[in-house]
Amino acid sequence: MSDYTVFFENIFLIGQFILFILLTIAYMLIFTKKGIKKIFAIIPIVREYQLSIVAEREEDGRTFCIVDFFYEIFSLFIATMNQDSALFLFSAIAELTLAIILFIYSIRIYLGLCKEFNKSKKWIFLFMIFKTFTLLYWGLNKNFVPQRPMVKDTSAQTSNIYTSAIEKGLTLNLKERTAVKFFRKKVLLKDIHLAIPTGHMVLLLGGSGAGKTTFVNAATGYEKADAEVLLNGKDVYQDYEEMKYDLGFVPQQDLMRDTDTVHMTLSDAAALRLPSTVSIFERNKRIKEVLDLFGLSAVKGNLVSSLSGGQRKRLSIAMEYISDPALFFLDEPDSGLDGVLARKLFTKLRDIANQGKIVVVITHTPDRVIDLFDEVIVLAKDFQKTGRLAFYGPVEDAYSFFGKQSMEEILLSINPTDEGGEGKSDEYISKYSTYLSEKAGQMA
C-alpha cells in the first residue's frame, strides 16, 4: 500500500469523524429545542428514534430503528462473505430492500419535522442530500422552533393526597406506574388514590389508552407499580403469594376448552386457583357451591361448546370465582350479550358484591345497568397521555361533577377531540385534584 493511499484513507477517516461530531452537535441542538436529553444524540440508532419523537412520528421511528438494526447486521454479514455464493446474492437483495425501507421511513420522519417546525416540505431534499448540515442549520437557527415542545409537567394538577387505609376493603395509593419503551420512560399511570369498601360494586370507566388494564394489573399485583395496595389491611405486594387467592380477574376473552364439560372446566380451575392445602372434599364442595351460585348445575355435564352465550359468560366468571376472591375484576363481562342477558349477569355480580366482596367492572355499555353500581372510577389521559384519576365517588355525584346525565356523556367529555370527544380530560383531572384538596382541608 502506497503512502498516498494511506494518506487519503487517513483523510477520509478524519473527515468521517468530523462529520460524526457535527451530526452529534446538530442532534443535540434539535433535541434541546424539543426538550429531549442531549445524551441521546451520541448513540446512533437511539438518536434516530429520538428525532422521530421530535417529528411527532414515534411509530415511524420505532420501525426505522428496527430496520436499521437489521440493515447493519446484513452489511457486516455481506462484508465477510464470498461474493460468488448464492447466499451473498440473497443477502445483497435483502440489504437493498432494507435500504429502500429506511429511505421511505426517513422521508416520513423528515416530513414530520417539516410539519412540526412549520417549514416547507422542500427541505426534504436537503435532508436527504446534506443531512448533517441541514440539521445543524435547523438547530442553530432561532427561527426554527417546534410547535409542540415537550414539557415535564402536564397542565393537570397533581393531588398527592394519599388515602387513609380502611380496615375492610381495598386501599390503593399509586404514585406512578412506568414502563421503558425504545429508550424512553413512559408514565402509564399517575397520582391515583382511592378506597373501596367491601360490599361495593364499582364501574371502571375510561376511554381507549386511559390505563384501565394497567390499573387492574397494578391493583391485583400482576404488574407492580410504585404504589401501596392494601386489601382488608394486608399488603398485596408484600404478601402476594398469600393474597393471590383473594384476587380474581375475568378477561374479556374466555380461556375454556370447548371439548370439556362444565364440571371438568370448573374442576381444572379449582385445581389451579385453590391453595394446595384444600382437600378434595372441600374442593368438590366449592365446585358445587359455584355451580349453584351461577345457575350452572343443570348443565354441569354439558360440553362448553353447547352452552349459550349467557351460560358461557357465567362459566367464565365462575372459573375465577372458584377461589372465593375478596376483590373481583371483570373486563367486559357483558360483551356480546343483549340487554336482558346483560342485566341478569350484572344482577348476579351485584349479589356477589352484597356478600361482602368488592366487584370492579369494565364495560362499554354501563348506562343500561348503572343503577346496580355504587361508585364509578373515571380514568382519563392527561396532556402527556398518562392515565390519571378524573373522578372517584358515587354514581350520582359523578353526574353532578361532570354536569352530564349519562356515563356515555361523561366518557365523551374526557375523550380526546381526535377520538370524537370534548378533550376536557385535563380540566376534570385538575378539578378533581382541587376537590380532593378542599375535602382534605375541611377534614384537617
Domains located in the chain, CATH noted: 3-140 (no CATH), 169-443 (3.40.50.300)
168: which 3 cell numbers? 375492610
Which pairing describes strands 226-231 and 234-235: parallel, antiparallel, or unpaired?
antiparallel
Q: What is the pLDDT of residue 206?
A: 93
Q: Answer yes or no: are the C-beta atoms of 383 and 187 closer than 8 Å.
A: no
Q: What is the pLDDT of residue 183?
A: 66
Total-model pTM: 0.76
pLDDT in tens, the chain (444 residues): 566 676 677 787 888 889 899 999 999 999 999 888 899 999 888 899 999 999 989 889 999 999 998 888 888 877 777 776 777 778 788 888 999 999 999 999 999 999 999 999 999 999 999 999 999 999 999 999 998 766 544 456 777 788 888 999 999 999 999 987 766 788 999 999 999 999 999 999 998 889 999 999 999 999 999 999 999 999 999 999 889 889 999 988 887 899 999 999 999 999 988 888 889 999 999 999 999 988 999 999 999 999 988 899 899 999 999 999 999 999 999 887 888 889 999 999 999 999 999 999 999 899 999 999 999 999 999 988 899 999 999 999 999 999 999 999 999 999 988 778 899 999 999 999 988 887 766 655
Q: Answer yes or no: are the C-beta atoms of 67 and 105 closer than 8 Å.
A: yes
Q: What is the pLDDT of residue 10?
A: 77
Q: What is the pLDDT of residue 3?
A: 66
Q: What is the pLDDT of residue 170?
A: 96
Partners of 287 in the β-ladder: none
114-127 per-position pLDDT tens digit:
999 999 999 999 99
d(CA 303, CA 207): 36
Residue where the block lists cell 387505609: 165
- At 105, the amino acid letter reads Y
